């Protein structure tokens, strides 16, 4: 177990190192930098002035020096300074993290609550009308852009209820009901989409398990249907579902980029878009790195969960 | 390209060899109409998806004929007009006809979707073939590098790519195709790994064929099933990512009418006054993706039963 965790951690760190190189390189492909953007508004750029600013921001040094510097900062927990706001990057990012994490957690909750039961029903009633309807319902979720769904939800609330949730962020301590609604709507829009994948994998995994001998035995000895399905079958069918939930949690963050923009929530994802537009390298680098770390940690967590859910899995 | 054939059996050179390796080619195949009819009967949902995709393709091809107005012409007298006889789906804040813009948007979405899916799948397929066929250290290195690419959500990677390349149609295609590479490579590699162990591949190797020929002539054609399944499945998400990028203003630039961009311009400000600005482009995106998902699911069940439910 210990060697397994050590091994996985080593791989995770190597992957993150590779990712940091990719992110760093991608951002340097960009035509134009912060100085060009700052000056494009002014119209005229004095070359010597530009040079002075580049030097002040540390951007006149060779790329490899800048890269190593960044790595050193990550390791020491100092995330550098935002070019645009003239503030330490960490100070900008920190208040955004809880917003995104809360939204991601809520979305995955919606996805599981919606996806697992529909998947079970669909599998038990295989090829019935209900099964077809549930499958079309989930495929529809997979097909609608979650940001559009969010817009439609807002629109529907306005025209049917004549009421619109506040589009400026309210802290949970300020006004909890408003805060709850504010997060419930985007979580619903994003969660519906993720529930589709969870539903499909629950269905196919359960169908497979339901054909096994021990399930036939359970039926034969007269066990109640409810118990056969929820206790005997689902327990063994849940493993692939957990994998998908883990993967989805990581990939949810991609969907949040647009959803946070639609619902005007001050999260990591929305801020990423703004930082990209400003070519604020330290902020973009660190935000993308932060997302990468979440993805890798959630993968690691899912692997650990396996052993707990399925004692047959041995860490080798 | 002459094959190296053992000198003991000169008669096996050239033609007969290929016949031995691919006996299926000799069998008569059911014609296309029969196959299509069977597909429609067995997979009605898949057939419905196929019809949706066909409609979208025809719309994209005949956009110039189907339009009722110039999709980029503004009309100050007709801003935010509700759906009417003149403007079937209403007009936007600049008086541009929504219906004509959606019809032309099909072209942009389809071109970007298909081009990025094909580019990503072909590149990923080559990596997968190389990785799976050669194996060993090459496999290990290629897979770890692709792990890195796959570690980031598709949209985040595409976002960083378009941001650094700048918004233009070729750049958007490139940005969406890169995240598809690792996914495609996984699928092709897995199927190459099993094909590599087949007896006919062993036979080809025993006959002394060069590796490149075995890989491209004898292994690659047999991955076509998973490849088709993969591309149909990815097409939907490519269209979605394009919509999201354009929505954020980082995708297809003006003046091309793109479904995602139509949502961004209108979204916040005019949605309440003119809900048709939000509804119709979104419905167009959803139908297109729904169609490709339906078709992709049915094709997967038909062509590759092993992937069912994946």
> So what's the ipTM on this one?
0.83
Beta carbons of B278 and A155 less than 8 Å apart:
yes
Residues of chain A with pLDDT under 50: 316
- Give the integer Cα–Cα distance in Å for B37 and B31: 10
Chain A residue numbers with beta carbons less than 8 Å from the beta carbon of B45 are 132, 136
Q: Are A302 and A246 in contact (CB under 8 A)?
A: yes
Number of continuous H segments (helices) and E segments (strands) in chain A: 14, 0
CB contacts, 8 Å: A281 with chain B: none
Lowest mean pLDDT across A128-132, B55-59, B68-72, B174-178: B68-72
Chain A residue with the nearest C-alpha to that of B266: A151
Q: Is A88 strand, coil or helix? A: strand
Of B156, B159, B272, the CB nearest to A158: B272
In terms of pLDDT, which residue wins out, A158 or B111?
A: B111
Cα separation of B142 and B135, whole Å?
Answer: 10
Name the residue with higher pLDDT: A174 or B200.
B200
pLDDT at B92: 81
Contacts A30 to B, Cβ<8 Å:
163-166
Residue A284 contacts B, CB cutoff 8 Å? yes
Query: Does residue B15 have a pLDDT over 50?
Result: no
Q: Is the pLDDT of residue B121 over 80?
A: yes
Q: Which of B154, B248, B286 is nearest residue A144 as measured by Cβ atoms?
A: B286
Q: Is the pLDDT of residue B9 over 60?
A: no
Instruction: Identify from A206, A208, A258 which residue to disrupt to test chain B contact, counting B C-beta atoms within 10 A and taking the largest count.
Output: A258
pLDDT score for A229: 84
Predicted confidence at residue B283, as pLDDT, reads: 94
Widest CA span in chain A? 87
pLDDT value at residue B53: 92
CA-based nearest residue in chain A for residue B144: A15
CA pair distance B87, B274, nearest whole angstrom: 13
Instruction: Give the one of B155, B282, B294 whose C-beta lies nearest to A254's C-beta.
Output: B155
What is the distance in angstroms between the Cα of A204 and the nearest Cα belonging to chain B? 5
Closest-CA distance of chain B to residue A123, Å: 12
SS3 B91: strand
pLDDT of residue A315: 52
What is the pLDDT, as a whole number, of residue A44? 64
Task: Tell me how far apart the alpha carbons of residues B4 and B207 are, in angstroms, rounded to a whole number.
Answer: 8
**Pairwise CA distance, residues A23 & A74, whole Å:** 14
Cβ-based contacts of B160 with chain A (< 8 Å):
23, 26-27, 276, 284, 288
Structure-model confidence comparison of residues B91 and B241, the more confident one: B241
Interface-testing mutation among A8, A11, A31, A147, with chain B (most B C-beta atoms within 10 A): A147
Do residues A151 and A164 touch, judged by C-beta distance below 8 A? no
What crossing angle do the helices spanning B98-134 and B136-150 adopt, rounded to 10°? 150
Asked whether the beta carbons of residue A200 and residue B163 sit closer than 8 angstroms, the reply is no
CB atoms within 10 A of CB B204: 23
Please indicate if any CB of chain B lies within 8 Å of the CB of A272.
Answer: yes
Question: Cα(A33)–Cα(A281) distance, rounded to whole angstroms?
Answer: 9
Size of chain B in residues: 310
pLDDT at position A228 is: 84
Indicate the average pLDDT of chain B. 81
pLDDT band with cut points at 50, 70 and 90 for residue B59: very high
The CA distance from B74 to the nearest CA of chain A, in Å, is 25
Give the whole-angstrom CA distance, residue A129 versus residue A141: 19
Cβ pairs bridging A and B (under 8 Å): 141
B160 → closest Cβ in A23, A151, A207: A23
Say which residue the tokens 């094709």 belong to.
Answer: B299
Instruction: State whether residue A297 sits within 8 Å of chain B by CB.
Output: no
Q: Is B240 close to A145, i.e. CB distance below 8 A?
A: yes
Residue-level pLDDT at B41: 83
Q: What residue of A is the nearest CA neighbor of B307?
A: A204
pLDDT for A110 equals 94
- The token duo for A26 is 């991608």
Q: Which of A29, A253, A261 sits opposite B164 (nearest CB)?
A: A29
B289 CB neighbours in chain A (<8 A) are: 142-144
Nearest CA in chain A to B308: A204
Name the pLDDT band for B44 (thresholds 50, 70, 90). Answer: confident
- Specify whether the CB–CB gap between B244 and B155 falls below 8 A: yes
User: Is A144 in CB contact (< 8 Å) with chain B?
Assistant: yes
Whether residue A83 contacts residue A281, with contact meaning beta carbons closer than 8 Å, is answered with: yes
pLDDT of residue B14 exceeding 60, the answer is no
Of B250 and B204, the one with more pLDDT: B204
């Amino acid at each position: 177990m210990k060697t397994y965790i050590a091994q996985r951690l080593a791989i995770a760190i190597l992957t993150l190192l590779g990712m940091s190189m990719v992110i760093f390189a991608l951002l340097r492909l960009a035509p134009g930098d912060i100085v060009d953007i700052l000056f494009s508004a002014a119209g005229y750029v004095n070359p010597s002035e530009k040079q002075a600013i580049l030097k002040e921001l540390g951007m006149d040094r060779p790329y490899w020096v800048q890269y190593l510097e960044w790595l050193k900062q990550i390791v020491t927990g100092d995330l550098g300074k935002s070019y645009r706001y003239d503030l330490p990057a960490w100070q900008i990012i920190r208040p955004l993290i809880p917003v995104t994490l809360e939204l991601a957690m809520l979305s995955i909750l919606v996805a599981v609550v919606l996806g697992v039961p529909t998947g079970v029903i669909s599998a038990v009633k295989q090829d019935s009308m209900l099964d077809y309807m549930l499958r079309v319902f989930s495929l529809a979720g997979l097909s609608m852009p979650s940001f559009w769904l969010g817009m439609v939800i807002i629109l529907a609330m306005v025209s049917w209820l004549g009421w619109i949730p506040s589009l400026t962020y309210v802290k949970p301590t300020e006004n909890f009901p408003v805060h709850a609604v504010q997060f419930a709507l985007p979580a619903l829009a994003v969660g519906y989409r993720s529930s589709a994948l969870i539903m499909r994998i629950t269905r196919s995994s359960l169908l497979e398990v339901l054909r096994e001998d021990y399930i036939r035995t359970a039926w034969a000895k007269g066990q109640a249907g409810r118990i056969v399905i929820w206790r005997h079958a689902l327990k063994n069918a849940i493993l692939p579902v957990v994998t998908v939930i883990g993967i989805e949690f990581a990939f949810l963050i991609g969907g949040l980029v647009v959803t946070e923009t639609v619902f005007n929530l001050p999260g990591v994802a929305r801020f990423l878009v703004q930082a990209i537009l400003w070519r604020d390298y330290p902020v973009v680098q660190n935000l993308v790195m932060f997302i990468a770390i979440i993805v890798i940690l959630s993968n690691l967590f899912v692997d650990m969960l396996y052993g707990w859910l399925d004692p047959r899995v041995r860490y080798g | 390209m002459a094959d190296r054939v053992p000198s003991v059996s000169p008669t096996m050179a050239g033609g007969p060899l290929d016949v031995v390796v691919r006996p299926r080619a000799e069998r008569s195949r059911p014609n296309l109409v029969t196959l299509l009819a069977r597909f429609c009967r067995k997979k009605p949902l898949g057939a419905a998806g196929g019809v949706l995709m066909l409609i979208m393709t025809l719309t994209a091809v005949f956009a110039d004929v189907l339009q009722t107005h110039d999709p980029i012409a503004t009309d100050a007298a007709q801003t935010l007009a509700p759906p009417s006889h003149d403007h079937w789906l209403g007009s936007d804040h600049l008086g541009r006809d929504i219906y004509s813009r959606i019809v032309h948007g099909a072209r942009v979405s389809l071109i970007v979707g298909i081009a990025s899916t094909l580019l990503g799948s072909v590149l990923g397929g080559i990596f997968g073939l190389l990785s799976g066929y050669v194996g060993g250290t090459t496999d290990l290195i290629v897979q770890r590098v692709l792990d890195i690419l796959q570690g980031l959500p598709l949209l985040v990677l595409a976002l960083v790519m378009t941001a650094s390349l700048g918004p233009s149609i070729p750049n958007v295609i490139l940005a969406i195709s890169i995240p598809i590479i690792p996914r495609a490579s996984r699928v092709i590699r897995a199927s190459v790994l099993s094909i590599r162990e087949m007896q006919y591949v062993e036979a080809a190797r025993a006959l002394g064929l060069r590796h490149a020929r075995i890989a491209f002539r004898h292994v690659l054609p047999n991955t076509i099933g998973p490849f088709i399944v993969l591309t149909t499945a990815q097409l939907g998400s490519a269209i979605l990512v394009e919509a999201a990028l354009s929505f954020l203003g980082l995708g297809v630039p003006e003046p091309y009418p793109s479904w995602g961009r139509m949502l961004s311009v209108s979204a916040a400000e005019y949605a309440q006054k003119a809900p048709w600005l939000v509804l119709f482009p979104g419905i167009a995106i959803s139908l297109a993706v729904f169609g490709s998902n339906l078709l992709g699911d049915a094709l997967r069940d038909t062509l590759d039963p092993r992937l069912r439910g994946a």
